[in-house]
Structure 1
Amino acid sequence: MKRLPLFSSLTLSLLTLFAPSHASELPEVVAGKLIRHANFESQHVAARNIDVWLPPRAAPNEPLPVLYMHDGQMLYDSNATWNGQTWDADDVATKLIRDGKTPPFIIVGIWNGGPELRHREYFPQKAFENLSENDVEAVLQGTRKGQSHPAFPGEPISDKYLRFIVEELKPFIDKTYSTISDRDSTFISGSSMGGLISTYALCEYPDTFGGAACLSTHWPGIFTNEDNPIPQALFTYLDANLPDPNKVRLYFDLGDQTLDALYEPHQVQVDKILRRHGYDDSNWISKRFPGTDHSEIAWNARLHEPLIFLLDSK
């Protein structure tokens, strides 16, 4: 396979997720309480901040469901992010809880490891291992147009990242906070590369996570669809590893602007795989949002949809 071309015009939105946030500033939230566990140590991955949002509730010790979210520095407060954008996850959650559309729940924001680690931690490792040697070499050597550093900075270490969440972070959260720790009340979510790792988490740990919300999932893995072997490797992995649809819920969506313009043909293939494995409207959603781009503003505007889908007990 030839060396992969990558288009700089499509990389800006994804790069916004790499940039460091204002690490010393604790984000402000509209309601509830935010607690930071700074430089949380791990035997598997680099230390990082963990920002835990606790909702306002009448019963302080009531056990609650937990949503783990990637790119945790971009979740809560636009004044504390590098680009002035945020998911406003606390605001969305507060309104859903207030209106009775979801039960109260905890959000665990897991900071990404920065530009040298995020791609490696979030790309599904076992899918990468399905690539041929030539494809691996081409992917690792590919550069963004106009830049000299690799677009894919090293082989994935996402198995270690998931072990960090499942073996270290989740036990800490369940011990420290009043949680419902079982699978049916434990969820994981992210966008772009965070959508990939959320899908991977559900496949690798279906006894830990009861559902995943994957917004603007970055199926190309890099920044082009041209001569790109990555989507097929992901499809092959999914086809062999999707969990029992009767035990989980899975949400996907995408827009059609900026990086999201790359995703439609791949999401169509993923939808076919899910349908073939018995997923239906009771446990799977795949939505399109025409005119929307690859940004925290876009994800904020529709975050309520996956949250209701995952957390609704009906």
Structure 2
Amino acid sequence: MTPSRRSLLAGLAALPMASAARADAPRQGRLVEHPAFPSAHAGPRDITVWLPPGYDENPAARWPVLYMHDGQNLFDAGRAPYGAEWGVDEHLARLAATGQVRTPIVVGVGNTPLRLREYLPSGLIRALPGDMRTDLLGIYGGEPLSDGYLRFLVNELKPFVDSAYRTRPGRDDTVIMGSSMGGLISLHALMTRPDVFGAAGCVSTHWPLKIEALENPAALDQWRERLVAAWTGVVRDGLPPPGAHRLYFDRGDETLDTFYAEFQSRIDETVRAAGWGPDRFRSLVFPGAAHNEASWNQRLDVPLTFLLPPLA
């Protein structure tokens, strides 16, 4: 991959003993680190677990789990590559205090240098025409690694989390969420393992994949139409039946998010045509929002309250 392509794509965006990385005030909960977590299916990576307020004080309680990609960006701006964080712990602590969410444990899954290939859904690549597939594999540096990444999440990380922490391990209490390419892999996880994940949050989902095409409007139009056709087919055939899962999409309308509207509207039509109603499916637009952690932080309450509603 050439340096220019790397810069464009990057602009998108035996188990070690756990040790406390940071202990916040009680209302914020606390973070526990599992550095260089090993896997037989993917490269080792840092895992950060946020334990919510009340976890330590109530040993009888069990908690849902929210798995989030790009774990470096979730809790601490000092660790985030771009110097901005989602503020997941602050948002959830506040929402929990006011009863607006079913408070989860959060598992921040750190990314690696193979992030783009791990988050590139294999199902889409298989559905593409041959010339588009070859083009994308050249841009991304090889075949998707999403199947191995998902096996790591489901077969290795989740069993560890469920054994080490007081979780509610069932499907309806297991949520997955990410932004940009992390939105794509979250959707892929819901479609591939609907028995494991009960909800997926896909924030500023990076549907176009090939950003070089943005330099040529005619090429972009052709690429978009062919890619939208592939995406809608994958989503139509892969979604679980409506009624038991939750699916959330959103986008802004600045920076990279300006290129998502056509993709997102067609995907939304596909999901609704499959019978998903507003109680289980939501797709929102945030005017003025850009493709960055600061924008995702500002609107984080919205997906959290939809994906983790309090029990009736």
Shorter-normalised TM range: 0.7 to 0.9
Distance 1:29 1:190, change over 3 A: farther
Distance 1:219 1:28, change over 3 A: farther
Shift of residue 222 of structure 1? Answer: 2.5
CA contact (8 A) 1:29 1:91 kept: no
- Name the TM-score, length of structure 2 as normaliser: 0.88
Residue 154 (1) aligns with residue 151 (2): no
AA matched with 2:300? L
Residue 62 (1) aligns with residue 61 (2): yes
Cα RMSD, aligned residues only: 2.0
Percent identity, please.
Answer: 43
Q: Give matches, 1:69-84, under 5 Å.
A: 69-84=68-83
Higher relative contact order (CA 8 A, sep 6+): 1
Per-residue CA distance 1:273-303 (angstroms, 9 max, x = gap): 0111001111011000011100000001111
Q: Secondary structure at the match of 2:78?
A: helix
Match 2:156 to one of 161, 168, 174: 168
Q: In the alignment, which residue of structure 2 is the partner of 1:51?
A: 48
Per-residue CA distance 1:122-181 (angstroms, 9 max, x = gap): 01101101122222222233xxxxxxxxx3221211011111100110000000000000
Q: Which moved more, 1:132-141 or 1:38-47?
A: 132-141
Q: Secondary structure at the match of 1:195?
A: helix
- Unpaired runs of at least 5, structure 1: 1-5, 18-24, 142-150
Residue 101 (1) aligns with residue 133 (2): no
Q: Secondary structure at the match of 1:251?
A: strand
CA contact (8 A) 1:53 1:108 kept: yes
Distance 1:9 1:73, change over 3 A: closer
Distance 1:29 1:191, change over 3 A: farther
- In 2, distance between residues paired with 1:303 and 1:65? 18
CA contact (8 A) 1:52 1:106 kept: yes
Distance 1:119 1:230, change over 3 A: farther
Q: Secondary structure at the match of 1:293?
A: coil
Shift of residue 77 of structure 1? Answer: 1.0
Q: In the alignment, which residue of structure 1 is the partner of 2:217?
A: none
- In 2, distance between residues paired with 1:87 and 1:101? 18
- Name the TM-score, length of structure 1 as normaliser: 0.87
- In 2, distance between residues paired with 1:175 and 1:8? 39
- In 1, distance between residues paired with 2:67 and 2:7? 31
- In 1, distance between residues paired with 2:10 and 2:237? 33
Match 1:267 to one of 264, 267, 285: 264
- In 1, distance between residues paired with 2:99 and 2:253? 31
CA contact (8 A) 1:29 1:90 kept: no
Q: Which moved more, 1:215-224 or 1:276-285?
A: 215-224
Shift of residue 29 of structure 1? Answer: 5.0
Q: In the alignment, which residue of structure 2 is the partner of 1:131?
A: 128
